[in-house]
Homo-oligomer: A and B are copies of this chain.
Amino acid sequence: MLDEVKIPTTRNGKATFKIIIETTIDLFYKQGYHKTTIANITNSAGIGAGTFYLYFPNKLSLYKYILNQFQHDIRKTIAEKVASVDGRFEKEKEGIKTFIKYAIQNPHSYNIIWESLYIDKQLFMDYYEGFAKRYEIGLTKSIDDGEMHNVDTELVSYILMGVSNFVGLKVLLDLGSNNEDVDKLVDQVMNIIKTGIFK
């Protein structure tokens, strides 16, 4: 499943493995997956061309490894934050806020996840379907707790993902937004989500 990735065992090996990952995340962000060559990676990482193949059989397996890392990291970060607040509404708010903040602090992750649509469509579908399913669990609880109208949870999960993703996108494109701004921004977003847009 890890596509024949070879995990190094020694200290030197681990350091090399790590620099490959870090260099590649940076290159994928700046140039995109397809424009990034193995030679780009090994040159930027300061290693020989053959060293790459010691750990990864090809570029795709490296991409999948990085995507997997981000998935776990995002979900873990959100889950921890959400667990720390009380009330369904507050939890949903914290989830969206954490997602947007994560995007700001890891702008690379955003690009790399979306790009999966143009690398392997199935990866993209799995990612968002998995994310939606997680969302639905929380939404169902919100309904059970009487804090939310009896909505179609699957639909609402896509709506909320769309909102977070595009608001995150806006913040990323604008650039230079700091964390305080994000708090206010998310308050506005949640107000809109809570009470609706139209009179």
**Which of A1-9, A13-21, A64-72, A145-153 lies at the binding interface?**
A145-153
Q: A125 contacts which chain B residues (CB < 8 A)?
A: 173
Q: B118 touching A185 by the CB < 8 A rule?
A: no
Q: A193 contacts which chain B residues (CB < 8 A)?
A: 196-198
> Which one, B149, B166, B197, B199, contacts A158 given CB within 8 A?
B166
What is the total number of residues of chain A having a CB less than 8 Å from a CB of chain B? 48
Interface flags for A176-199 (1: CB within 8 Å of B; 0: not) read 000000000100110011111111
Complex CA distance for A152 and B184, rounded to whole angstroms: 12
Identical copies in the complex: 2
- Chain A 128-154 residues near chain B, CB threshold 8 A: 128-129, 142, 146-149, 151-152, 154
Nearest CB in chain B: distance from A111 CB, A = 7
Instruction: Mark A residues whose CB is within 8 Å of B.
Output: 32-35, 89, 92, 111, 114-115, 117-119, 125, 128-129, 142, 146-149, 151-152, 154-156, 158-159, 161-167, 169-170, 173, 185, 188-189, 192-199
Please list the 5 inter-chain residue pairs (A to B) with the smallest Cβ-Cβ separation, ordered nearest first. A162-B166, A196-B196, A162-B162, A34-B34, A158-B170
